[in-house]
Amino acid sequence: MNERFKACLRFVLKWEGGYTNHPNDPGGATNKGITQSVYNSWRKSKGLPPRDVRHITDAEVEQIYYERYWKPLRADELPAPLDLVVFDSGVNCGIGRAARWLNLSLNLPPNTTVTNETIKALKKANIVDVARKVAKHRETHYITISERNPKLKVFLRGWMNRLNDLRKTAGL
């Protein structure tokens, strides 16, 4: 894991906090942003038995974010600050959405993966403009899901605070 991943992870963990199990959160029990279901799946992939997400270690958190979010989003291949914007979007909204927003921001088909075509298009793009567009897609997503599911409105202010901090940190 490189230093850029670790820097981006610090931002994510600043916002993900500790253990929570909010009744309105469809993700259920979560610790440091890792849901119980993701933790169980990751532990199973390592040949380990399930364990309560309250007991997740910092090393496991780092590995999960690297293996399940950073790598699938090909964030090592994304220039800063786009790597941070896409990674944090993947953590908070799902890697499929983050990849789709990245592709849409590059005027590519809304693929839910970061493809070779995505990486190629980045070479010709204004990275800050692309990062701004990804952030705008994320903002629209927050508003839309809050309107569709009133139980989620309780999270809207926190989501927007996080997004505004991301924009500031990324220089957008």
Chain segment 72-85, per-residue pLDDT in tens: 999 999 999 999 99
Q: Which two tokens stand for residue 56?
A: 């997740």
Are the beta carbons of 88 and 100 closer than 8 angstroms? no
CATH of the domain at 136: 1.20.141.10
Q: How many structural domains comprise the chain?
A: 1
Its domain, for residue 125, covers: 3-169
d(CA 117, CA 131): 17
Amino acid at 67: E
Q: What is the pTM of this model?
A: 0.93
Task: Give the confidence band of 27 by pLDDT, cuts at 50, 70, 90.
Answer: confident
Task: Give the confidence band of 20 by pLDDT, cuts at 50, 70, 90.
Answer: confident
Sign of CA dihedral 172, 131, 129, 155: negative
C-alpha closest to that of 9 among 64, 72, 49: 64
Which one has a higher pLDDT value, 73 or 158? 73
